[in-house]
Every structure is written in structure tokens, then in C-alpha cells.
């Protein structure tokens, strides 16, 4: 029974083992990624590609994010969106259930980007029995095959509303599309490793950059007011929500701080400052204007206040939030010298929503990722081992999307074994058949 469904699902999805290379080439051609974190494990990398190529979270360090998921933008990359949905269907949907998120992110250029990211509530089980829903869904989007990106946005959104997996449908679309296009020439992996590991990557594929970013993304995309409010308050003492030219100016400083000196310098500073004399801080610190790390919020629906995101946190404060019955909790990463912080609070308007605001960049892989990497290495030739076995490079930038992936991954308790027993591993015991 399970084996049957497993096969059925496989048939309805991209076979990553066979197709991933093609997919990545496809994505590289369509939407080259400018950043990738070499500290990622293979799993993280997979999710990175999956999510970033969906342009939901991709925040390249050196380039503004492409204007995807903005209805005002010219139709762009519908095919990669399909491909990504396919990947997402393969990687995430079986794992994630009942997770909806309206996500707001900011790139290092401080251009705000609001993303309506209604994670579908599709479970793996539902995905297996969704043909009817898909047909119904399709009937509402007769133009889906016209490569209209706005349609894709609507489609995914509607997928959630219909409680139907547009994901596997998108996989089919991608299959058709990809079979027509054939494999591309650029390898995303090659370019990535050329950048971070020249000894691995050979020829650098110079991808064309998408420079058509429009700052009007915010206006067009759906903005969750609550999240916006929280982010605004979160950045009240920093620059993160500044608008206009001032934002531009401060963005550069922020970027520099972020990429170069942040962690070590600040940790030293913190160590010396916090040992004694809380009341009279050293003049050096007093005179310095605090530079905030970039922040970004992830909004999820959950009963639990604390969502597992793969890292260990220590709570260091809690404050009552103005006009909200729910307090805000402050957490700090417990890893030595890692200065990443996060704030967690519930939406005042919708108590079911948990808004987690992250600040900073981890200087270490997540404990969960380390654990997973052990499993990863054991799964030869599985889709998780497509990428070279976990490559670590500390201090590499960690993307926002990766944290989102972590958060989503947190819904699973352990790494699924792909080679066999997929269902047993990825389905919560409650919905197994």
C-alpha cells in the first residue's frame, strides 16, 4: 500500500535523482543565483535552490532580488517557478503540513520585499489523492500554461485555498516544459563551486544577471500589516525600515558590517563591555552608534510559541508588547561567539500567527544540519546526496531563505530516508495508512 503510493507520487513528481541536474541547469539558465552558502549541507542546498529559485526568499548579496512574485513585474521565469514548485513538492510538501506563512524579507540593499507565501496546507497524503482538486484548480486557472508569472502566484496561493497541491501539477507542467526545452548548458553547481571552491568548480559559468529589480515590489505584493508592524518596531532603532535615500546610504554600511567584521569585532566588544558596570558603560560604546544586522521576519501559523529552526537558542529577555496581549521573547544563539538573535511574538490580530524576527548571520552550521549530514552521507545516490557531501565554510553568508527552510524543516523530526521507506519517514505517524 505504502509502496504503491510512493510509486504513484514518484510518478507524479520530478524524479530528482534523474532530473535534478537538468532542473538545476534549467534554473541556472533562467534565474542564476548569485549567492549560495557553502556551509550548507546537501539537504540545505537542495532546499536553498528549491526556495530561492522560487524567488520567495532569494536575497543575493551582491544583487537586488529579482522582482518575482510581483504582479507588476513583467512576466518572468514562469518555467523556473514551475520547476521550483516541483522541487518543493518533492522536498517540502511531504514534510510540511499546516504551515502557512506570509513572509516579509529585506535584502541587504534595504529594499523591502513583501512576499505572500501561502504555504499550502497539503499533506503528503493529500497530495496522493489530489487529482480531483487539481482538476478543479486548473479550471480556475485556464491560462496556467501561458507562462504567466502572475498566474503562477495566484496559482500557488489558490493551491493553499483549495487545499490542493498545485505542486505536483506544477511538476507536470515543468516536465512538459523541460522536455521541450532540453537540458541547458549552464550548471548552477559549477558556478557556485567556482565562486566558493575554485578547486572544485572548473569553468565559471557567467550567468546573466537580472537587474530589473523594482522597488515597487512592496506596493504590489500583498503586505501583511501585522508583520509589517512588527518588523517596523523591530527596526525602530536601526535602519531596517527606513525609506528613501537614507535607506540607500545606510544599506551600504550595513552590508559592509555584515560581510566583514561583524561577528568577531562585536563579540570582543560585547565581552569587554558586559562583564562589569552595567550602569556606566565605557565611553567608546556610548559614543558609537549601534549598527544593526539585517533583519527579517518569518511568520508561521503554529500552536507552539517556539518553532524548531535547527539552532539552539537561549532566552535572554521578554517584554510586553504595546497594544498586544502577547509578550515578545528575545533569544540569542547559544553557539559560542555567534551573535544571531531572534525575537518571537504572536500576532495581536491573529494569535495563531507566530512572527519570528531574525537578526544576524550564524557563524556555524546548524546543529540539526550537522546531524543530518551524517545521514546524508549514508544515503548514496539519493536525492540528498546529489550535491557533494557537506562542504563547510564558516562565516559564509547564510541566506534568509535558508533559515526559512530550517524553520520549515523543523516540522520534521528527523531526516527522511529517501531510498526506501519514504512514507514511514516523512509522514507523521498520525496520518500514516
Partner DNA sequence: CGTGTTTGACCAGCGC
Partner DNA sequence: GCGCTGGTCAAACACG
Pick out residues in 282-321 that bind DNA (CB under 7 A). Answer: 285-286, 288-290, 312-319, 321
Minimal distance, residue 310 CB to DNA, in Å:
14
Minimal distance, residue 326 CB to DNA, in Å:
12
Number of residues written out for the chain: 433
Contact 92, 47 (CB under 8 A): yes
Specify the DSSP element, H or E, that contains 173: helix 166-181
> Is 274 one of the binding residues for DNA (CB under 7 A)?
yes
Q: What is the DSSP letter of 120?
A: -
Q: Where are the beta strands (DSSP E) in 75-152?
A: 101-106, 112-117
Minimal distance, residue 108 CB to DNA, in Å:
19
Minimal distance, residue 282 CB to DNA, in Å:
9
Minimal distance, residue 304 CB to DNA, in Å:
13
Pick out residues in 183-242 that bind DNA (CB under 7 A). Answer: 233-238
Minimal distance, residue 278 CB to DNA, in Å:
4
How far is the C-alpha of 150 from the C-alpha of 425, rounded, in Å?
35
Nearest-5° angle of CA 94, CA 97, CA 100?
Answer: 125
State the maximum Cα–Cα separation within the chain, in Å, rounded to a whole number: 70
Nearer to DNA, 81 or 340 (CB): 340
Minimal distance, residue 11 CB to DNA, in Å:
44
Nearer to DNA, 211 or 275 (CB): 275
In the numeric block, the cell 529577555 is attached to 317
Member of 278, 303, 304, 325 binding DNA (CB under 7 A): 278
Pick out residues in 235-264 that bind DNA (CB under 7 A). Answer: 235-238
Member of 270, 284, 431, 432 binding DNA (CB under 7 A): 270
> Is 82 one of the binding residues for DNA (CB under 7 A)?
no
Cell, residue 412: 520534521
How far is the C-alpha of 410 from the C-alpha of 342, rounded, in Å?
16
Which residues neighbour 9 within 8 Å (Cβ) at sequence distance 6 or greater?
94, 124, 127, 128, 168
Contact 210, 66 (CB under 8 A): yes
Minimal distance, residue 107 CB to DNA, in Å:
19
Compute the 3-state secondary structure of the chain and give helix, strand, coil in percent, each to the nearest 5: 45, 10, 45
Nearer to DNA, 132 or 277 (CB): 277
**Phi (first) and psi of residue 109, to 5 degrees:** -90, 5
Nearer to DNA, 7 or 334 (CB): 334
Member of 69, 330, 358, 384 binding DNA (CB under 7 A): 330
Could you give the 3-state DSSP secondary structure of residue 36?
coil
Nearer to DNA, 144 or 234 (CB): 234
Pick out residues in 93-152 that bind DNA (CB under 7 A). Answer: none
Nearer to DNA, 311 or 384 (CB): 311
> Is 268 one of the binding residues for DNA (CB under 7 A)?
no
The neighbouring-strand residues paired with 332 are 314, 341
Nearer to DNA, 20 or 344 (CB): 344
Could you give the 3-state DSSP secondary structure of residue 20?
helix
How far is the C-alpha of 265 from the C-alpha of 261, rounded, in Å?
6
Segment near DNA (CB under 7 A); pick from 92-100, 145-153, 159-167, 323-331: 323-331
Nearer to DNA, 160 or 242 (CB): 242
Minimal distance, residue 274 CB to DNA, in Å:
4
Nearer to DNA, 246 or 381 (CB): 246
Segment near DNA (CB under 7 A); pick from 33-41, 111-119, 273-281, 420-428: 273-281
Minimal distance, residue 292 CB to DNA, in Å:
8
Q: Are strands 328-333 and 295-301 parallel, antiparallel or unpaired?
A: unpaired
Member of 227, 343, 404, 426 binding DNA (CB under 7 A): 343
Count of helices and strands (H, E) across the chain = 17, 7
Member of 185, 211, 279, 429 binding DNA (CB under 7 A): 279
Member of 11, 280, 380, 429 binding DNA (CB under 7 A): 280
Minimal distance, residue 331 CB to DNA, in Å:
7
What secondary structure does DSSP assign to 252-293, as a single string?
HHHHHHHHTTHHHHHHHHHHHHHSS-SSS--HHHHHSPP-PP
Specify the DSSP element, H or E, that contains 333: strand 328-333
In the numeric block, the cell 495508512 is attached to 433
In the numeric block, the cell 518543493 is attached to 88
How many residues bind DNA (CB under 7 A)? The answer is 37
Q: List residues near DNA by CB under 7 A.
A: 233-238, 270, 273-281, 285-286, 288-290, 312-319, 321-322, 328-330, 334, 341, 343
Amino acid at each position: 500500500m505504502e509502496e504503491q503510493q510512493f510509486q504513484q507520487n514518484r510518478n507524479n513528481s520530478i524524479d530528482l535523482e534523474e532530473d535534478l541536474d537538468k532542473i538545476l541547469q534549467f534554473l541556472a539558465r533562467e534565474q542564476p543565483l548569485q549567492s549560495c552558502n557553502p556551509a550548507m549541507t546537501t539537504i540545505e542546498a537542495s532546499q536553498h535552490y528549491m526556495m530561492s529559485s522560487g524567488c520567495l526568499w532569494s536575497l543575493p548579496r551582491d544583487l537586488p532580488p529579482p522582482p518575482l512574485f510581483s504582479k507588476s513585474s513583467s512576466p518572468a521565469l514562469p518555467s523556473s517557478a514551475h520547476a521550483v514548485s516541483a522541487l518543493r513538492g518533492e522536498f517540502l510538501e511531504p514534510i510540511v503540513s499546516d504551515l502557512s506563512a506570509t513572509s516579509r524579507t529585506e535584502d541587504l540593499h534595504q529594499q523591502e520585499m513583501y512576499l505572500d507565501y501561502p504555504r499550502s496546507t497539503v499533506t503528503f497524503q493529500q497530495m496522493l489523492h489530489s487529482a480531483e482538486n487539481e482538476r478543479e484548480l486548473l479550471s480556475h486557472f485556464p491560462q496556467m500554461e501561458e507562462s504567466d508569472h502572475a498566474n503562477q502566484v495566484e496559482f500557488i496561493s489558490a493551491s493553499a485555498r483549495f487545499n490542493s497541491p498545485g505542486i505536483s501539477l506544477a511538476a507536470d507542467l515543468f516536465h512538459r516544459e523541460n522536455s521541450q526545452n532540453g537540458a541547458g548548458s549552464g550548471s548552477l553547481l559549477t558556478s557556485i563551486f567556482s565562486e566558493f571552491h575554485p578547486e572544485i568548480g572548473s569553468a565559471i559559468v557567467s550567468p546573466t544577471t537580472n537587474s530589473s529589480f523594482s522597488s515597487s515590489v512592496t506596493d504590489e505584493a500583498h503586505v501583511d500589516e501585522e508583520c509589517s508592524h512588527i518588523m517596523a518596531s523591530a527596526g525602530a532603532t536601526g535602519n531596517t525600515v527606513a525609506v528613501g535615500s537614507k535607506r540607500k546610504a545606510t544599506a551600504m554600511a550595513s552590508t559592509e558590517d555584515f560581510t566583514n567584521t561583524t561577528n568577531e569585532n562585536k563579540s570582543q566588544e560585547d565581552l569587554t563591555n558586559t562583564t562589569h558596570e552595567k550602569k556606566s558603560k565605557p565611553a567608546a560604546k556610548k559614543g558609537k552608534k549601534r549598527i544593526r544586522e539585517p533583519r527579517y521576519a518569518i511568520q508561521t501559523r503554529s500552536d507552539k510559541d517556539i518553532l524548531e529552526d535547527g539552532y539552539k537558542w537561549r532566552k535572554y529577555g521578554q517584554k510586553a508588547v504595546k497594544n498586544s496581549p502577547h509578550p515578545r521573547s528575545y533569544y540569542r544563539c547559544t553557539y559560542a561567539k555567534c551573535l544571531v538573535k531572534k525575537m518571537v511574538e504572536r500576532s495581536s490580530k491573529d494569535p495563531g500567527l507566530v512572527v519570528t524576527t531574525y537578526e544576524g548571520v550564524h557563524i556555524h552550521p546548524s546543529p540539526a544540519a550537522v546531524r543530518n549530514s551524517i545521514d546524508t552521507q549514508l544515503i548514496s545516490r539519493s536525492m540528498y546526496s546529489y550535491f557533494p557531501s557537506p562542504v563547510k565554510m564558516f562565516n559564509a553568508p547564510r541566506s534568509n531563505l535558508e533559515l526559512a527552510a530550517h524553520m520549515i524543516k523543523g516540522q520534521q523530526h528527523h531526516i527522511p530516508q529517501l531510498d526506501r521507506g519514504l512514507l514511514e519517514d516523512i509522514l507523521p505517524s498520525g496520518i500514516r495508512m
